[in-house]
Structure 1
Amino acid sequence: MSVKHIITLTNRQGMQIKLSNWGATWLSCIIPVGEEKRELLLGCQSFEQYQQQDAYLGATIGRYANRIANAQIDIAGKHYQLTANQGVNQLHGGKQGFDKQLWKIESQSNQQIVFSLISPDGDQGYPGELKVTASYTLTDDNQVNIEYYANTSKCTPVNLTNHAYFNLDGETENILAHSLKVNADYYLPVDATGIPGNDLVNVTEGDMDLRQLRVIANNLLTSSARKITGGYDHAYLLDKSKSVAAQLVSSDKKVTMDVTTSYPALQVYTGNFLAHTPNRHNGQYANFAGVALEAQFLPDSPHHPTWPQPSCFLEPEQTYHQQICYQFFINQ
């Protein structure tokens, strides 16, 4: 199937999301806020712009989300050179990651769409044929549930996520006045290329504590950890004793979004390099126009098997299954 489609899901509350089989991408998220129909998701005006932009707006990310150092992995004594697309490292699955693939529409209804993709053995350097499904379900209580399933013919690392950027104020300039909470005691410091070191660090070090609602702009560029990345671009190891992984609140306090997930970690990215990304209105986004809350395995996990999380490697006898839920609440 070579045709790009737009699919619209609508619930009984009047919430509407749009998706595309191009990159199994989440294009739009509109919710009634009083008399206003508020767009909560960053997006482009055309498919051509989606194909040209490099911010991964709303896309499904794979085979491995986030970074792999030196674009190489070793499995059972065998070395695999992956395609590098950010210096010597691989980011978000390589030059032709899942975000740049045309997915098949397996099924659709008014409130659910299921996409599938077959990633061949050797795709971007990864071993094994990987068969993937990604489903989006819009519930009547304003949840967007994303579920991933995958099976492989050979052992391979798998880390699928969605790269939606949220601005709960609507299409305003930035998210700096939003408040963010992440239930995590530890995070991963990174170097200037986004590659983590060996050790998780307590969030109290480096002023990275998001365990209470915190205005994003608060000391944004004063901490040494955030100076390196120009804002938040860090993975947090989630406290799995808490049901909610993260919470985001609009600056006008009218919209709250809760994030729940089966994944062990959450990448918080405040759109530090969004400048010049095309928007829906013949213009361009500025830095900090949206925040991405990407549930996933910790970055560069193939090189850190002792980190306190499940293995990111999928074996042929296993089925990969992960879930991410974004639920929206209107505070009138």
Structure 2
Amino acid sequence: MSDFNPVLITLPDSLTPALALKILPYGLTIHKILVQNDGRTHDIVIGPESPQGHVTQKYTNSIVGRYANRIPVGKHALERNGFSSEFVALPNESPHVSLHGGPVGFDALPWTHLCGDTTPELFSSSEMTRIHALPESSYAIFRLKSPSGDQGFPGTLSVEALIALVGPEKTRPLSEYSLGSIVLVYRAKLEDSNVVTPINLTQHWGFNLDASLRLETEPLSIKGHSLTIKADRVAELSSNALATGRFLSVLDLPAHDHTSKAVAENMPPGGYDDYYLFEEAANRSAPTRFSLSSFSDSSDYLRDLLRASDDEERGVRADPCVILSSERSGLKLEFDTNQRGVMFYTNAMANPADGARKKIHGGSGTSGNGDAYGPASAAFLEFHNPISSFLFDENKDGEDTLLTPDEMYHHYVRCDVKFKSS
């Protein structure tokens, strides 16, 4: 099926580009992130060998939506800036919990690859001019239409996603240098005029920077990776992982103070599956939604996102909010986003008896062969706004993860890929 034929996104500067992506229209899934350095090819995301394997190995590098993470099952009254609706969250993780958008979320749907004469609807003329200035092989735009009532969500929602690679501006003889940047931009708007709907998208991608170096005698693990999350609070969760609306200081919880420390240091016995709220200094000024009345042909929210990380004219020079690195492979990922936080998950619920592991990661590639990924095999870094924000009165008409018909949802994540030679 065409939904499982990878769309190759690559930088065309050489026969062996330093960075390439393989994207599946099914679930807008990043099937592979290929990195070339020191004569080696790394695939730095876990997952099945076969593209069709993503049907059963759910939430492995796919988008999730309409709503990331967990919502209590049942009926919820919604209100934002005078618009009101009703939302019925459907069970899938348990009778009491709706996970990642419901039983058939955005991860399990075919997205349309917009190519040829098909024009995106949610990017301005100025933004499209900027996108088209990139090499044709280095980007793709996808679309999904979610009808009103889909998984209980009110309102027909139109969603478009840009996935692009940006090459480094210069090649410098430094000990650490850029291999390029991965840019994800999600846009969404309602097609109905009188509703409000929850939306909180994310890419559920799982990284292991050493997986392609694995020896048969050692486990596949990210416990030795170094992680920095510039967050001062972590979400308090109930016994079934639903948000309580409260946040706890990481100063009181050493396990959750990720400041250039190994993932294994103070790691809870059950691993990590926690939402971190970025400290104020790490928040970006880019909006997470904007008024449709202010969005014109000249609007451009992509200017700095589609510039090389070492471009001297790049306007945004804030420090990354999340850094994941490995001394062994020499690879480092630096993340920037306009979302207020990140979910960090160490694949704690993975079972090596289920699914398949890529051959490049030392697996057989065969599902059910007993050599799939286990706990602590990946660092999932899911950037989105706070969990279930619309349930809590203190967020009303603010960062409540609700969208009205007069607004455009705007979400970006940028990942700068770097390599440090030994």
Q: TM-score, normalised by structure 1?
A: 0.92
Question: Following superposition of structure 1 onto structure 2, how do residues 1-332 of structure 1 map, counting pairs within 5 Å?
Answer: 3-11=3-11, 12=13, 13-54=17-58, 56-76=59-79, 78-87=85-94, 88-107=96-115, 109-141=136-168, 142-152=180-190, 153=192, 154-171=195-212, 172=214, 173-221=220-268, 227=269, 230-242=270-282, 243=318, 244-252=320-328, 254-275=330-351, 276-280=354-358, 281-282=365-366, 283-307=371-395, 310-332=399-421
Code of the residue aligned with 1:279 in structure 2: it is R
After superposition, give the CA deviation of every residue in 1:127-160 in whole Å (9 maximum; x if it has no partner).
Answer: 0000000111011131110000000122101111
Code of the residue aligned with 1:155 in structure 2: it is V
Code of the residue aligned with 2:372 in structure 1: it is Q
Counterparts of 1:183 and 1:254 in 2: how far apart (Å)?
22
Code of the residue aligned with 2:51 in structure 1: it is F
**Secondary structure of 1:258 counterpart:** strand
Shift of 1:169: 1.1
Gaps of 5+ in 1: 222-226
**Secondary structure of 1:306 counterpart:** helix
**Secondary structure of 1:99 counterpart:** helix
Shift of 1:53: 1.6
2:24–2:51 contact (8 Å) kept in structure 1: no
Counterparts of 1:219 and 1:178 in 2: how far apart (Å)?
13
**Secondary structure of 1:17 counterpart:** strand
Question: Where do 4+ consecutive residues of structure 1 move more than 6 Å?
Answer: none
After superposition, give the CA deviation of every residue in 1:244-293 in whole Å (9 maximum; x if it has no partner).
Answer: 11000114160110111010111111111122342222241111111111
Seen in structure 2, the aligned counterparts of structure 1 residues 264 and 186 have a Cα distance that, compared at 3 Å, is same
Seen in structure 2, the aligned counterparts of structure 1 residues 203 and 72 have a Cα distance that, compared at 3 Å, is farther
Shift of 1:313: 0.5
Shift of 1:38: 1.1
Code of the residue aligned with 1:266 in structure 2: it is V
Higher helix share: 2
In the other structure, the counterpart of 1:224 is none
How many residue pairs get aligned? The number is: 324
Which segment is superposed worse, 137-146 or 304-313? Answer: 304-313
Counterparts of 1:287 and 1:312 in 2: how far apart (Å)?
31
Counterparts of 2:333 and 2:74 in 1: how far apart (Å)?
34
Shift of 1:107: 3.0
**Secondary structure of 1:9 counterpart:** strand
Counterparts of 1:149 and 1:260 in 2: how far apart (Å)?
17
1:186–1:203 contact (8 Å) kept in structure 2: yes
Seen in structure 2, the aligned counterparts of structure 1 residues 168 and 307 have a Cα distance that, compared at 3 Å, is farther
1:62–1:161 contact (8 Å) kept in structure 2: yes
Code of the residue aligned with 1:274 in structure 2: it is A
Counterparts of 2:374 and 2:112 in 1: how far apart (Å)?
33
Counterparts of 2:86 and 2:158 in 1: how far apart (Å)?
22
Code of the residue aligned with 2:42 in structure 1: it is R
**Secondary structure of 2:188 counterpart:** strand
Counterparts of 1:75 and 1:57 in 2: how far apart (Å)?
30
Code of the residue aligned with 1:165 in structure 2: it is G
Counterparts of 1:194 and 1:113 in 2: how far apart (Å)?
35
1:64–1:159 contact (8 Å) kept in structure 2: yes
Counterparts of 1:144 and 1:119 in 2: how far apart (Å)?
26
Which segment is superposed worse, 190-199 or 152-161? Answer: 190-199
Gaps of 5+ in 2: 117-135, 169-179, 215-219, 283-317, 359-364
Q: Percent identity?
A: 25
1:180–1:210 contact (8 Å) kept in structure 2: no
Code of the residue aligned with 1:296 in structure 2: it is H
Counterparts of 2:376 and 2:75 in 1: how far apart (Å)?
31
Counterparts of 1:328 and 1:307 in 2: how far apart (Å)?
35
RMSD (CA atoms): 1.9
Counterparts of 1:145 and 1:197 in 2: how far apart (Å)?
32
